[in-house]
Structure 1
Amino acid sequence: MSEITLSGLEKRYGDELAVEDVSVTIDDGELLCLLGPSGSGKSTTLRMLAGLETPTDGEIRIGDENVTDRPAYERTTATVFQDWALFPHKTVLENVAFGLKMQGIGKDERREQAHEMLERVRMAEYADDNPMNLSGGQKQRVALARSLAVNPDVLLLDEPLSNLDKRLSEDMQIELREIHAELEETFVHVTHDQDEAFTLADRIGIMADGNLVQVGEPNEVYQNPKNQFIEGFLGDTNFVEGTVERTTLDSIRVETELGREVILPTASGEADALAEGDSVTLSLRPEVLSIEPAESAGSEDGETAHAVRTDGSTTNSVVGTIENVLYRGSTVRYSVVVNGTTVFVERTVGDAGAFDAGDEIRINWDGADLLAFRDNGSRVDL
């Protein structure tokens, strides 16, 4: 079992800075997902951890050992690659047994261990097959079995599911989660797929421009993003520009593109150094928005927005016109034009209601459900 500590990790390729000052501790037996867009530095970080790249600066520790300068074959890690990297001239069993052979384990014992690992990933019946004749999902299982067969302290996974179709990828996510729970080993999994990260991870590390921006449990990074980049990267949201109109002891009033003003309650009793005239960006996630026919709330022609206090909470409301309706399988997305600005609302098919393009609707939300960000992308502490 191994705890991993990355301290001030940096990687340069000439003048290009690929990874900058990455520091994190990955707990013994934890499954950490490094999540970020292409070019964010997540795979480079994994390759340094695997010993396939040498850091320009910083330190890597696995357990009590400093492995920063050790080559891959001297580390207690194994890596599953995106392209599987199976040997085409060896059978499935021989592929899985290869690492054991390199460890000097005898033929009979390594065949037995390889068979056990193939059974674990439900591929034992393909032991004598050529791996090139397998499907993508089957190849991924063989690659996983080969990496696990050597009993590593740390398993590294570099976008291993990216070549699979959606349904197969989802099935493999569940299997990986179950294997991790069974083995209780430390896994570090790199992906650009948010659903994959949220399904697998004990914690998620969000990377952008070579930096590790935030690390936390899935629910934490989604509900409490550190900055606007994370808020926009995780899931879908509506960003609405606004200007602070005034602040009080318990609220901030923001003039927005949607209409007259939006009220944001402040639990701390202060407006976090926001002043009248400051620019802010509000985030309205679709799941916090409710919709209803405009006439059911007593709207009048030309009404664009209103905000009222009810029972100690802050209710905001705008009236707009549905521009288009997009059916997305189990959900329906409504694009709504409000005062010249387009926002979207999503509902499950069963709760979607009979709304059509051209209908006038009212969108409601509680001000406490919104997040606000400054011009530099930092989050406003409400």
Structure 2
Amino acid sequence: MTVQTSPYTLCDTYEAASLAAEELSASSTLIVDCEGRDIGMPDGALSIIAIGDATASKIFLFDVLALTDPADPLLAPLRSLLRRPDITKLMWDGRADFTEIAEAYGVRMEGVLDLQLVEVAQRWRRKRKGCRRQQHTADYFKSLKDELTEDPAALDGIHRLYGLEHCAGMYGLIKKGEGKNHEVVAMHEQDRTEMWMQRPLPEALLAYSAHDIHIIAQLFARFEKKGHYLDDQEALKAISARYMEACPTRELRAKHAQLDLCKFVPLDVLTPPPDGIPTFECARCERVLSLRCFSTAARPPSDSEESKAAGPASDAAAPAGLTSEEVTAEEGQTTITWRLTLCRLCSLLARRHSEAALGEWVATTTD
């Protein structure tokens, strides 16, 4: 199937933005995607907010550079639209978009359903040996193959992400050569995203922005046909909300990108941290995570064990598959366990990249 592109409407006046937002507000499900200069990074800036209905039959491109005043009353319908929890916003890896919309318009989007996580959730359920989607994560850690063969549970709960176009290709929605504009893709790869800030915006960039809405619409339609993919949308929205908030600042996102963390689902996202469980800061990614996100042991590892730095793993827990020896304590007792100062994902990445700092084992107590 080839993704077809239909016309879009450019909204570069407050009046046009107001009318478009009013029209879109009649839909219960929308698709949202953003373009701009290094979005989500410290010098990031929005250029276009693209919003379409669930079938991409209507697409509006909101020109953020022409709509700079968030207090203008004519922008109230757009801000309300983005904020409304009763309108589902379909996205694909909306983390940077979420941050930039909050920066530009002071709106923290609600009702987000990130289809990238829908794919991951289904991948986790399909634990068929040799499955290409399952192998996607293991392939990234080929340098640790011997260790992971010995302890395959070390990858439980670690999920490498697919890009939008790659995933659409896997589902047969686009063929090779029918995807995104290669010149625009090259522009992104060469860090020339400043082009999104020029005006008038070239037609190629406007069409590129609208094209992503079409791809997301096609994936949504395919997931709907699968039935069970979208069985519990409220649970998927809760996962998506944690995904949006997992990297709350541009500076932390820049660090995570440098550390290759953005290629993976952040820990403590696919399932919420259990109430009352201790939390700790990872020494590498600086995220505050529940104890289950760290490798743990009942005793300090020996030198040979510590050289692996991964720690023991236990059975996976659905749907995130995160592993650890969780700490419990009876009344009046103190339980002592040892944990690695790097979360399980950071530990794998640090060893893959032969980093000098692989974490330390520290004693943890709970009363």
TM-score range, shorter chain: under 0.3
The structure in which a higher percent of residues are helix is: 2
TM-score for the superposition, normalised by structure 2? 0.26
Q: Which has the higher contact order (CA 8 A, sep 6+)?
A: 2
TM-score for the superposition, normalised by structure 1? 0.25
The structure in which a higher percent of residues are strand is: 1
Q: Which has the larger radius of gyration?
A: 1
